[in-house]
Amino acid sequence: MDTGTHIVMGVALGGLATIDPVVQNDPTLFHAVLVGTVVGSHAPDFDTVFKLKNNATYIRHHRGASHSIPAVILWGLLVSGIIFLFVPEVNYLHLWLWTFLAVCIHVFVDLFNAYGTQAFRPFTNKWIALGVINTFDPYIFMLNVGAILAWMLGADPVYSWFVIYSVIVLYYIKRFMDKREIVKKIKENIPSTVAIATSPTLKHNNWRVAITTEDKFFVGIVENGHIEIVDEFRKVPLPDMDVMNKALTDKNIQSFLNFSPVYRWEISEYEHFTEVRFTDLRYRSKEYYPFVAVVKLNPDLEIISSYTGWIFSEHKLQRKLVVEDIL
């Protein structure tokens, strides 16, 4: 989920913590728990600091080790431990419990969007991306905000959050049912389908789909249950050739391939360089594929520049590559 949603969920969990008699009867502990749930609800995304290094490092690590089972345990201990240093008189067990729960909820809800996480590391490095909730879902966000406002106006927190989270659970179930219906229709119309990546959009009844068959990739949009295929690409294995082998040694290309399961590649020859481009097919938006990895090589197969990340125009992409050339 996005940062805003994680924060309001942290505030909401802090309010829900008042069901704990120990928290409810100790104002200092309550405020410590509220800080713990808000910070803990965002803590796994502190790996955003990798962006300060470069996009390749960020893409390789974001929602990876920071969302793993050992990290979830460590985040809970670290955040609650730091808070405890400032208020050592509070009950640490209850402070840790609610902070740890906030971290767990963060990782749990991240499983449901198209980006996903490596939440089951170290047992598996597989990306888990269920693709039923958009990274920012306005319904989930507003429901949490509504519960917070009701709590601030004096509503009973237990009753408020029971109602709100009952609605959210039903909403998740509906989204799973929507996805199941989409997958069913696709398999009926494309029997050779071997994998389907779904990406919900901000609009409730609009989805993006990337379909993998034995020999092709199909990219489609789903609107009110109607599926339209908008792009089709032949599935071509990576060639065993010098230019591709060299491109695969680039850190940006490696980070892209570590993350993206559905992509196409192309090699373009120019007068002074060769460009190798990988395009993720899951995130088509306004007739453009924004998540790419590109590397430029000179005639001696030396890497001139490379880039990976989210770019929403070809002009901006080329500017990124030029900047890296100069650097």
pTM flag (> 0.85): yes
Distance CA 218, CA 197 (A): 11
Average pLDDT, the chain: 91
Q: How many CA atoms lie within 13 A of 258 on its CB side?
A: 21
The parent domain of residue 146 ranges over: 3-174
Distance CA 208, CA 189 (A): 17
How does pLDDT run across 241-252, given as a tens digit for each residue? 999 999 999 999
Q: Which helix (H) or strand (E) holds 280?
A: strand 274-280
How does pLDDT run across 108-127, given as a tens digit for each residue? 999 999 888 999 999 998 88
Same domain, 18 and 154: yes
- Please state, for a pLDDT cut of 70, what percent of the chain lies above it: 98
Residue 183 lies in a domain: no
Residue 64 lies in a domain: yes
Final residue before a domain boundary, out of 234, 253, 268 = 234
pLDDT exceeds cutoff 90 at 147: no
Range 137-158 average pLDDT: 89
End-to-end Cα distance, the chain: 34
Same domain, 215 and 131: no
Measured over the CA atoms of residue 280, residue 286, residue 177 and residue 105, the dihedral's sign is: positive
Cα dihedral value 176, 174, 107, 284, nearest 10: 60
The alpha-helical segments, DSSP class H, found in 214-299 are 242-247, 251-259
